[in-house]
Amino acid sequence: MARASKRSSDILAEPTGDTDDSPWECVGTVCRYREELVSLRQQVVTDPLTGLFNLRYLLTSMEQEFERTERTNVPTALMMVDVDHFKKVNDRWGHEVGNRVLQAIADAIRLSTRRLDIQCRYGGEEFAVLLPSSSLLQASVVAERLRQMVEAIRLQEGSDTLQVTVSIGVAMREKGASLSTSELVHQADIQLYEAKRSGRNRVCIAPSPCSIARVTADEKDMMRSLFAPRRE
């Protein structure tokens, strides 16, 4: 499972149709221009903090995958992932450490999903993963794997160890469903809200009940110490 995953740069460095002996590749100033073009294409669809795709790319990809679902009769799933109590992380450790947490979660998303999946930062401390050709059951397995992977992350901050969890909502679009991109996001968000409401650190998928978070006593102690008032 642990393997290099796709980054947005993989897709964006795709060939432009020029052949190896194209002037784009071998004439000095023109070569530089081509690199700038690739870099600009990359910036337009990439979240700079995490290197994941941004919302713009997610929405375009959802439209494409919905078309594929209509043609192939294979569903598309969406996971919405939100960091639990992230404000407390920022408040206690500062924004820079908060950013490191977001980067670590982005790495976990890359590692726990397939290269074909579209891994995005939706905004703030919320992420989205689009899973082409995936049923709700398949997506729920991926979501639970990600939940466990994030729960296992330990970030060292001075003499303290920092741990965070995520809540995840999953929804799916099948062939023939009159479900727009924003409606699919909304359905996954409803499940995400349910995961938060029922205790956080869990995956919720309609119509199943939310999976029970497996937090050990040691981890609960860790969370308590993390969120305790700052020691002077």
Asked if 47 interacts with ligand GTP (CB under 6 A), we say no
Q: 11: how many CB neighbours lie within 10 A of its CB?
A: 15
By CB under 6 A, the residues from 112 to 131 that bind ligand GTP are 124-125
Asked if 86 interacts with ligand GTP (CB under 6 A), we say yes
Cα(54)–Cα(66) distance, integer angstroms: 18
| Residue 196 to residues 11, 114, 146, Cα–Cα distance (Å) | 34, 26, 16
Asked if 84 interacts with ligand GTP (CB under 6 A), we say yes
Q: Which is nearer to ligand GTP, 57 or 122 (CB)?
A: 122
CB 105 within 8 A of CB 114: no
Among 125, 183, 194, 219, the active-site one is 125
Closest distance to ligand GTP from the beta carbon of 99 (Å): 5
Asked if 39 interacts with ligand GTP (CB under 6 A), we say no
Cα(105)–Cα(146) distance, integer angstroms: 9
Asked if 99 interacts with ligand GTP (CB under 6 A), we say yes
Six token digits for residue 175: 């062939």
CB 153 within 8 A of CB 163: yes
Q: Which is nearer to ligand GTP, 69 or 191 (CB)?
A: 191
CB 9 within 8 A of CB 42: yes
Known catalytic residues are 125
Which residues contact ligand GTP (rule: CB under 6 A)? 49, 82-87, 90, 95, 98-99, 102, 124-125, 196, 200
